[in-house]
Each structure stands twice: as structure tokens, then as C-alpha cells.
Amino acid sequence: MSHSDTLLIELLTEELPPKALNQLSSVFSHCLVEQLAIHDLIDIDKGRVPSFEPFGTPRRLAVIIHNVRTVAPQRWIYKKVLPVSVALKSNGQPSDQLIKRLIALGFPDIPLTRLERVIDGKIEAFFLKYTAPGVTLEDGLQNALDETLTKLTTHKILTYQRPDGTNVQFIRPIHRLIALHANRVIPITALGLRANNITLGHRFLSEGQIKVLHADNYKHVLKHRGKVIVSMLERKEAIRIQLLERAGVDHVLMPETLLNEVNALVEWPIVYACHFDQVFLKVPQECLILTMQTNQKYFVLTNAFGKLQPRFLVVSNLQTDTPKQIVIGNERVVRSRLTDAKFFFEQDKKKTLEQRVPLLASVVYHHKLGSQLQRTERIEALAILIAPIVGVDARLAARTARLAKADLLTYMVGEFPELQGIMGAYYARYDGESEEIAIGCLEHYRPRFTGDELPSTTIGTIIAVADKIEALVGIWGIGLQPTGEKDPYALRRHALGLLRIILEKRLPIDLIDLLRHTYTQFSTHTQVIDPTSALYDFFIDRLRSLLRGYGYNAKEVEAVLSQNPTRIDNIISRLDAVREFAALPAAESLAVANKRIMNILKKSNSAPRHIKTQLFVECAEFTLFEQLQNITPTVQDRLHSRDYTGALLALASMSDSVNMFFKDVMINTDNSALRANRLGLLALLYEQMNCVADISKLKT
């Protein structure tokens, strides 16, 4: 008789890749659960999901799955046997084919009366309904584990040899396998190992081999006898708590990526406080922070004002009452790293940013687009073009653009590319450049990622726009546009960043003009093909998703973007106006009318621009024309002052006149002069109705 209980699976390995541990643990646990569920070996209520807990440490992948059956329930199988025409002889007796088929299915003696005759498509066939025994946990788990191990081959695979000479392939050598259902070992094998209930704890702190007597005791036994916290979440929280305790009054910087990586390096985390010489604080703190976090996996401390403090925290995998040697060792290592950073900084200061600019000629940007110096000159020209549009001194913009990329040639940025722009600001200040130029060098890379801050200064904004549009036009122009998930030059990020800047800063820049002016900067690079049209469409696609993220619905967005706007800065105002208009009682009828007008005008060859009032026959024509004449100046004034809501509200007052026109006037009359005049009136109306957005898109 089957019963349900807790199942434990553990692979004990050599040290796993720390950056991959999260993914490995997730794939291992989810795949095992999925495969056992397919075999119906997990007892779960209808509509519920399996209950399980994944574990991962540097030396093990494990999972506990609750309510696992020893044997899956019997299941009904309804199987097609053969078409009747093949299964029966002419005398109605079973054919040789039917007899062989039933033997193959395991039913050699079953009478014909047990078979069901069913119309299957266009033919009649015999079907057999029978019960099959459920799979045992031993068989199901073996299949599940075999399948799971094949899913863990996305990382680099090692080939190693077992003591018996067998070659095995896996991410890292595996030493032990536990398969324990409650207190019973499930006799399965994997990677040359037979399952048992014995594991090892911490490499140095454990008491040796540990026997797990029951699957439910796994976490407790490993923690108290093995000095291993197997839960990644629990271990991460233990690290976080210790870091906060050791930080004291200071603030500890805990980037999530660093926390996850350190969590994957330790089984029994202990935090120790260390110090470094205050002389290193003369180096820009971003350099010190980056080298300690990136190279050494240390957690740095700042005071309440964000200033770096001369001490740091180390997460160790060793617990000792005399941590002096651990502290001294880490302080020695960090001293060496910070000495390098100090040397780089001192060497960099010996040459000004201006002196580095000509040297950019030796740095290739792209073989079809020239050097970094040529790129700098293009950005400088664009900055001069944009500066007067936003009210900035063109000379200041040009100077900032000229120096913005010079820090690429510094030792510090060569060691830490993440510091580009940041070091440019420090060196600009040291060279005696103005604070505006220093901040511009710092901010022109913003936004660096989704949700990042925009440039805070106007000069930083100008250089950021010039930098991004130059990259987009150049890279796209040589045919390296994004494809599928591939975007090696981050053009999607550049486009979104540029759109955010123009939208949120309300920059009065015409996008098409900007694209065309940028393309002219590549006149000496004949391999660059004009990407203006394609890039504009790309921007509109990016803008569509960006605006949806701002909270506007699909109809509102399409109503505005279908007009192919080139002034991105006023799109938000247009969207707000469309939203307010859509809430009016007249909105639906005008949207329907607009759609109707569009369809009528599409079918006509042309409509006259000059309306002849003497050709009006119906009162509705006079009324519509007169009201259109009256509100047009109001609408144009509202548009000129960017009062898009006012423009649409004025148009909404025409609802009754428009409805009456369609009710009383025959547009496609046989009289060609009347027909043309009426089409002309509709064309004028259509032009006014869509001056802010295509309101036909609001039709429900």
C-alpha cells in the first residue's frame, strides 16, 4: 500500500561555480519536482502546486519534496488498437494482426467483447480501456534524476574518473548521493554513485561523516553537526544580519549581486571587521569601493554622509575564536589592491584630459566608423547643434563633449571600465575645468540602465543626447541593428535612454531633424547608410512600450503615435489631452465619425482644398462648415500654446453638427460637383479632428 512522506535528494560535489549556484539550485529542484509530478508520485490536492524546498551550498545541490508517494496510483489507459477493417477477417474473427497487437500490449487472451468499436475520424477502430499499475518511487525517481542531470549541462562540463576507472561528465566531480524517503534509502544511482543516507558537512568545521536518519531532519542535522546552513535564503539572511551588526554606526554597502555571490562561496558564514590605511582615502572612493567589491568580494562601509570609512567587512567560511590571522591576511591583500589603485590615480593625474584627447585617434571605435577621436568630434558637433535649442552656451557644450571620452585612456578606467565618466569628472576637476564640465563628463553616460537617474544638469543632458544619437545612427547605419535577443551595442538601451531624456526633460528637439543632422556627421564614412526612417520606426516601437510603462493604455498611445510625431517632448501633453477627451460623452460618437471619414476619404481619389458654400444644399452642410470655421482659430491657438486638451475640447463641441451631417447629407451623390465639395468639407474636418491625435483609435 502506498503512503506519502518527505523525500530528500542531495548531490555532494566539489566547489560549484558561485555565480551559477542560484540557477543550478533552481533547475535541479524544479526539474526533479516536475518529473516526479509527471509520474504522479507527488500527492497534491487538485489545483494546488507541489510543496518543496531547494537547497544550495558551494558543495551541494539538494531538495526536500513533501508528500511523495511510494507508488503512484493506478491509471486508466484508453488505447487505440487497430482499425476494424484490419483487425477482423471477412468472417468476423480476429485477424493475425489483431492477435499480434494484443500480445504486444500484454493482453493475449482478451475476448473481442472487451474491445470498444469507436468511430475515429473517418474510420471505425477498436479501442482498449485498461488499468496500468502506478510507477514505483524507485523507478520514477531514477528517471526523474536522470532527466534532471541532463538539464544541468548548460555550464562548462568536466570529465573526471571514478576510483573504478569509469569516466564521468558533470559540472564538478560528485562524491556522494543521498536519496531518502522518510527514513528509507531509495536504491537509485547517478554519475557512478549509489544512493545512501550519508553526507559530509563543512570541509573544516564538521565532525566527519553525517548519517541522515530521516529526510525531515536534513536541515537540522547539517546545521548542528555539519556546520552547514543548506538554505540559500537562510544563509543569505544570516550574512545580512552579521554585516549590519559588524557595521555598527556605519552604513554597509550590500549590492545584491555581491551578496548573492558571497552567499554562494560559504556554507557557514562568519563576518569579520578589517581596516586599511587612511592614506588610501585620498584616492576617489568609487575606485576603492569597486576594487574591494569586485576583486576581493568585501563589503565596504560609509558614514551617514556617504563618505568611505577606512574599514571593511569580510565574509569568511571559517569560525574561530582567534580570527587575527584571517583579519591580517585580508588586510594584507586589500593593501596591495589599494596601493595599485593609488598608483593608477597618481599616474593618471600626470597628464590632463586635454592632452589625452589627440591620443584617442589610436583607439578604434569601429573599423567602419573610425577612431574614438572621430567619434568625439561627431559628438562635439552635435553638442554645438543641440546647445542653443536648450539654451546652453555652445562653447561650454563643445568643451565638455571634447573631454568626455578622454578618461578612456587612463589607467584607472583601463582597470575598471565601470568608472568611465566617473574618473573623467575627477580628472576634469583636477585639471581646473569648471564644475559644469566635470559633471557633464560624469553624467553623459546616464541613464546607464533601466530605471537609472537621468543627467541632473543641462550640459550633462546635451552630451548624453549627442552621445546616444551618435551611437544609434552610426551603429545602425553600418547594419548592426538589434536582432531578436541580440543587441551587442546596447542600441535598445540607448534609444530608451534618449527617449526618457527628451520626454522627461521636455527637450524641444525634433527627432527626425536630429537623426538627419547626425547622419551628416558620417559623410566621410561611405559605409554608413542613412538609417533615419528605420531608426525613427525603432524609436516609435520603443516609445510605445515606454509610454505603456508610464500608465497610458494602448488606445491612448496608438491615438498619439499613429500620427508619427517627431516632437517627442509634447507627447505626454497630447496623451493627457486624449485621456481627458476620451472621458467626454461626445468622444465615442466623434471617434466613430472620424473612422468613417477616414474610410470615405481613402476611397476617394482627392478632395478639394477650397470649399464652395454656394454648392451647399442641406442645412447640415452650412451648420458644419460654419462651426468648423468658427472653432479652427481657437484650435490653432490652443495648439500653438500646446494646450492640447483645450484643442480637443473645442473639437468635442462639434459632435452634434458632425452627427447631423452624416444623418442628413448624402456624400456619394451622383452630382460630381456636390460630391467633391462634400468630400472637401470632410477633409477639412478630418484634418482638424486629428490635429492632436487620431481619435478614431479611441473607438470601442
Axis crossing angle, helix 587-603 with helix 672-689, rounded to the nearest 10:
130
459: closest CA among 527, 384, 534, 372? 384
And the C-alpha cell for 249? 554606526
Task: Out of 224, 250, 274, pick the residue that ends a domain.
Answer: 224
Identify whether 558 is part of a domain: no
Same domain? 359 vs 493: yes
Domain match, 177 and 277 both: no
DSSP state of 211: E
Query: Are 123 and 255 within one domain?
Result: no
502 and 385 housed in the same domain: yes
Select from 633, 680, 676, 629 the least CA-distant residue to 657: 629
Under 8 Å between Cβ of 61 and 55: yes
Shared domain for 105 and 31, answered yes or no, is no
Residue ranges in 42-184 assigned as alpha helix (H) = 84-87, 96-105, 137-151
Radius of gyration of the chain (CA): 37
Strands (E) located in 19-74: 52-57, 60-69
444, 404 in Cβ contact below 8 A? yes
Does residue 447 have a cis peptide bond before it, meaning omega lies within 30 degrees of 0? yes
The pLDDT value recorded for residue 90 is 86
Distance CA 271, CA 263 (A): 12
Any domain includes 561: no
* Beta bridge pairs of residue 71: 136
Quote the CA–CA distance of 249 and 644 in Å, as a whole number.
53
Q: In sequence order, what are the residues at sequence separation of 6 or more whose Cβ sits closer than 8 angstroms to the Cβ of residue 454?
A: 446, 447, 461, 464, 500, 501, 504, 505
**In which domain, by residue range, is 87 found?**
75-132
Would 37 be classed as within a structural domain?
yes
Give the Cα-Cα-Cα angle 304, 424, 498 (nearest 5 degrees): 90
Same domain, 585 and 522: no
Distance CA 127, CA 107 (A): 13
CA angle at residue 100 from 99 to 105, to 5 degrees?
100
**Helical packing angle, 491-505 and 458-477, nearest 10°:** 140
CA-to-CA dists, residue 519 to 92, 480, 487, angstroms: 83, 15, 21
Last residue of a domain, one of 332, 348, 364: 348
Do 369 and 472 lie in a common domain?
A: yes
In angstroms, the CA 342 to CA 348 distance is 10
Residues 505, 476 contacting (CB under 8 angstroms): no
CB atoms within 10 A of CB 653: 13
Does any domain span residue 565? Answer: no
Q: Would you tell me how many other CB atoms lie within 10 Å of the CB of residue 373?
A: 19
Which residue's C-alpha cell is 546607464?
Answer: 448
Which of 183, 203, 224 is where one domain is finished?
224
DSSP for 379-423, written as a single string: HHHHHHHHGGGGT--HHHHHHHHHHTTGGGGSHHHHH-GGGTTHH
- For 328, the grid coordinates are 591580517
Q: What type of residue is 449? A: F
Q: Is residue 125 part of a domain?
A: yes
Burial of 214 from C-beta contacts in 10 A (0-12 / 13-18 / 19+): middle
277: helix, coil or strand?
Answer: coil
**Chunked in runs of 10, what are the mean pLDDT values of the chain (700 residues)?**
88 94 95 95 82 97 96 87 89 89 88 87 89 91 95 81 88 96 96 96 93 97 97 98 97 96 98 97 96 96 97 96 95 96 96 98 96 98 96 96 98 95 97 97 95 95 98 97 91 97 96 98 95 97 95 94 94 94 87 87 77 87 90 90 90 88 87 88 88 86
The answer on 267 and 147 residing in a single domain is no
Convert 577-610 to b/e letters by CB count within 10 Å (16 or more is b): bbbebbeeebbebbbbbbbbbeebeeeeeebeee
For residue 556, is it within any domain? no
The three cell numbers of residue 419 are: 568608472
Q: What are phi and psi of 457, to 5 degrees?
A: -110, 155
Q: Are strands 4-13 and 52-57 parallel, antiparallel or unpaired?
A: unpaired
C-alpha cell at 626: 460654419
- Cell 591583500 appears where? 333
Q: Are residues 296 and 205 in the same domain?
A: no
Task: Report pLDDT for 120.
Answer: 86
- Residue 27 and residue 35 in contact, taking contact as beta carbons nearer than 8 Å: no
Q: Are 193 and 164 in contact (CB under 8 A)?
A: no
Q: How many domains does the chain have?
A: 5
Q: Examine residue 566 and state whether it is found in any structural domain, yes or no.
A: no
What's 654's domain CATH number? 1.10.730.10
Q: Are residues 583 and 654 in the same domain?
A: yes
What confidence score (pLDDT) does residue 47 get? 62
Task: Give the list of residues 6+ apart from residue 621 with CB closer than 8 angstroms, or none.
Answer: 661, 665, 678, 681
Residues 363 and 321 in one domain: no
Tell me, yes or no, whether 562 lies in a domain. no
Distance CA 518, CA 522 (A): 7
In this predicted structure, what is the pLDDT of residue 155?
64
496 contact partners, CB below 8 Å, separation of at least 6:
447, 450, 542, 546
| CATH of residue 438 | 1.10.3210
The answer to whether residues 111 and 99 belong to one domain is yes
pLDDT of 1? 55
pLDDT at 33: 96
